[in-house]
Amino acid sequence: MSYWPLIGVAWVVAGFALRLNPALVVVSAGLVTGLVAGKDLLAVLGLFGEAFTKQRYLALFLLTLPVIGLLERHGLKEHAQAWIARMRGATAGRLLVAYLGLRQLAATLGLTSLGGHPQTVRPLLAPMAEGAAEACIGALDDDQRQRLRAMCAGTDNVGLFFGEDVFIAFGAVLLIQGFFAENGIALEPLHIALWGIPTALCAFAIHTTRVLRFERRLEREARAIVAQAAPEVRP
């Protein structure tokens, strides 16, 4: 067995570590992996085209992204921020925990397209989290804003990844079944999906803790900024 095709994994790690364009890193890693595996350039491009059409990425780029861009241009983010800021008791932590639960539950039912970075996190979840945070602790600086956006994206990832493993018809469940079948172990997809429930619950609890700790950290930073800005009281 040749392990050279795994150089694509190292390529992805290096590209992300250098903070290069993610799309460029992933596409170039696919090209490198295919070429190292012994396929010619046309064959690799053919695989890209086949995956492009089968996974319906064409619809994503030609329909979803322009629609989201048009909504953002007409103030979708601003309306989302204003709406969440008017809600009593709404905090960034509570919002993210609620979204995590809904995202995970929807993924367990196979509704993986209800959320996502381009159609939900960027235009709705992140602005709402920023609005809730600013309503509670005041204005955010650029570093805090970027970290909050990253937490929103991570929340979507955790909810989707650990929720879809419970869905019986998900590809990963069938892949696990096929792997065990090749090694003489017969497992039903239902049993594999059921054993994914404890993992999903643990993931929910762990990420909820991370979100709430992150929120408390933002609050401490805000109090420290206020304390530094306050004039010194002299006797």
pTM of the model: 0.69
pLDDT given for residue 97 in this prediction: 95
Q: Is pLDDT of 38 > 80? A: yes
Element (H, E) at 31: helix 22-36
For the stretch 105-117, what's the b/e string if a residue is b when 16 or more beta carbons lie within 10 angstroms of its beta carbon? bbbbeeebeebbe
Which residues span the domain enclosing 218? Answer: 61-229
Which of residues 28, 55, 82 is at a domain's end?
Answer: 55
Q: Is pLDDT of 41 > 70? A: yes
pLDDT given for residue 211 in this prediction: 96
> Are 83 and 197 in the same domain?
yes
Model pLDDT for residues 168-223, shown as the tens digit of each residue: 777 777 778 888 888 888 888 888 888 889 999 999 999 999 999 999 999 998 88
Is 235 a domain residue?
A: no
Which of residues 10, 39, 55 is at a domain's end?
Answer: 55
> Are 86 and 39 in the same domain?
no
Is 129 a domain residue?
A: yes
Is 234 a domain residue?
A: no
Model pLDDT for residues 91-150, shown as the tens digit of each residue: 899 999 999 999 999 999 888 878 888 788 988 899 889 988 988 888 888 899 999 999
> Are 199 and 95 in the same domain?
yes
pLDDT given for residue 73 in this prediction: 75
Q: How many CA atoms lie within 13 A of 167 on its CB side?
A: 20
pLDDT given for residue 69 in this prediction: 67
Smallest Cα–Cα separation from 155: which of 114, 204, 188? 204
Which of residues 35, 55, 75 is at a domain's end?
Answer: 55
* Counted domains in the chain: 2
